[in-house]
A and B are shown apart, each in its own frame.
Chain A
């Protein structure tokens, strides 16, 4: 008796079998964007696997964090590879998550009935940013220490809740051992738990609703009174996705071997902050923007206003499915698409300026 037969005698697999057999993915000129979500998911799984392996040796304390990462890099067999893959993969993951979000935005896949998929996806992106911010401090090197100091300071500029937020993030007035243990807790327990739930919801919604057709494609097929061609999800789409996963794995391994993730210098809270401290690249556009805002704007503190603007902008972005009431046509829809282009160009431009300066 095969294991599958054994299982089928105990669990009714017929609905699952039927679902897999009938699930299909449309094929059209924008189909390539469908692969970004799966690629992001794959990189998240790589992060989870490498993160678990790093946990075997990492010690979250002010005195041992840096030394344990050094131990991983120098003494543990293939430790350098695991840590470098974890570092590089975090960055590729963020890049793909942003690309996935923008492709969803411009293909207007957030429109009814997929509002919840968009919301859960945006929540996942925020969680990924949280992973990046909390994980950056864990090696406890000079760069990560002072970048966290600057990052949490920025959060402290928020009106009303700023001060409490900083104390909550740092576990005190300054970045200390308490901050390290707190960030470690966020990074390996709280964020993964929440991500697991939201990711499950996101994937379930996608499976239930299927892939969204871009409005232009949908319109053209509606005019022809025909259904778009499709390939079966299993194995056709999955095998194509697998090709991308393998390529991503190859790129990750090459980056990790050719450009190992730096260990840096152990953080010294009493030392002066090194020049040109800056956060990870995916926060740079915000960091750079805050530099250009005058200290006082109309009697208000410039930095606080800038942060408020980012918060409001983010909320508007999240609310796009509800603002874009007729996504397939109309002036408002075109304006929202134009705003998306401006946001994309702005983020790219400010990031480049920050690197070049």
Chain B
């Protein structure tokens, strides 16, 4: 087996596919007719491809010997080992695939054979995932379709179908099979599902999709740093970088874990849940520095919380606080940067962000207080106006009673 593409497909998609395959197979029943039901909604069928586009043969002939004869180029059903090249026949052909999507990716096959799945397949392991395990077969949907097994929200379950199956994975000797369960506790999964952020990391973001491989210890920082670039920059300049490398531990994973990456806060630095305490002892320089950084970050966090509470109060009172809320976003950005700067282990860098953020948060809080003061002024104004109105109404009443009394009402 190799990653070479067998041949360039000669067929081009037709607008109105005429296929005798479906006509016969629909009546055969069982396994032989099962592809005919979902295929009309398959992305390939939607693009005008037919059974013969993949399996070869003559879809115009009603004679099985002709339709599925060697002379008609019938390729039949591929074995599991043949599946990657079978799909790659078209999907690795850039010119052909450009008909459907100009910026389409066509290196999946090459990537696949660099993956653990691909390498094991080449070694004769027929149980590893091939294209159809993740993308399904005959009912394949676009990756962007919510029903696709490789749609971001479905990826954990798709990978977990094998990787959480202890029996299936038993022969591979992998450490622990809790990746899917762990991932579903992570901040990444929360972002994906609760916040609806489809760009949030899933299995394939860190492990790659077609080239799926566990990142080595040395490349963990690179993998996480793809998204968390500031954290990576700070970490690479910190004393931890060389220490972790010498100890042979993976940078980010050492403190944050791998699949169950939880939402971070200052409790990771100081207090009973401090991850620093895993290596540092109480009273040493590292612990003191971590506590100092946590204290400064809490100051900014508290200032932002206070401002937010004041602004919420003003908002509930019906005041417009949109500009102050925008300012508070800036303060929050400094909080994020301060939390990021702890990876440098340099308290001055953390202080710099905190010192920038606190005045902004205090300014927003002041604006909130000003709005609340304005609410009070308005209420006083209303009270005065109401008194004035009542006085006028009362004066009118007295005047009318004296000068313009109503005659006794009729019936």
Contacts and interface: CB of A to CB of B under 8 A. Distances in A.
Given A26-B410, A27-B409, A240-B400, A250 B386 contact: yes
At the interface, is chain B mostly helix, strand, loop or mixed?
helix
Interface of A: 26-29, 31, 70, 73-74, 80, 216-217, 220-221, 228-232, 235-236, 239-240, 242-243, 246-247, 249-250, 253-254, 257-260, 262-263
B11 to A, nearest CB: 39
A190 to B, nearest CB: 31
Interface string B290-320: 0000000000000000000000000000111
B404 A229 contact: no
Contacts of B389: 246-247, 249-250, 253
Contacts of B318: 259-260, 262
Contact of A236 (B323, B378, B400): B400
A228 B411 CA distance: 9
Contacts of B168: none
Interface stretch (B18-26, B43-51, B391-399): B391-399
Contacts of B409: 27-29, 31, 229
A246 B391 CA distance: 10
Contacts of A235: 403-404
B65 interface: no
A73 B386 CA distance: 22
A247 B409 CA distance: 24
Number of chain B interface residues as a range = 20 to 34
A250 B411 CA distance: 33
B411 A260 contact: no
Contacts of B319: 260
Interface of B: 318-320, 322-323, 378-379, 381-382, 385-386, 389-390, 392-393, 396-397, 399-400, 403-404, 406-411
A263 B404 contact: no
Contacts of A216: 411
Contacts of A259: 318
B411 A220 contact: yes
B406 A236 contact: yes
A254 B388 CA distance: 13
A284 B389 CA distance: 33
Nearest to B378: A257
B393 A247 contact: yes
Given A73-B320, A239-B399, A250-B389, A221 B378 contact: no
Interface core residue of B318, B378, B397 (most chain A CB under 10 Å): B318
Nearest to A247: B393
Contact of A74 (B320, B378, B382, B406): B320
A220 B411 CA distance: 7
A220 to B, nearest CB: 4
B320 A246 contact: no
A196 to B, nearest CB: 29
Query: For B379, B393, B408, B411, which residue has the most chain A Cβ atoms within 10 angstroms?
Result: B411
Contacts of A228: 410
Contact of B396 (A217, A239, A250): A239
Nearest to B407: A229
30 contacts: A27-B409, A27-B410, A28-B410, A29-B410, A29-B411, A70-B320, A70-B322, A80-B320, A216-B411, A221-B410, A228-B410, A229-B406, A229-B407, A229-B408, A229-B409, A229-B410, A239-B400, A242-B396, A243-B393, A243-B397, A243-B400, A246-B389, A246-B392, A246-B396, A247-B389, A247-B393, A253-B389, A254-B386, A257-B382, A260-B319
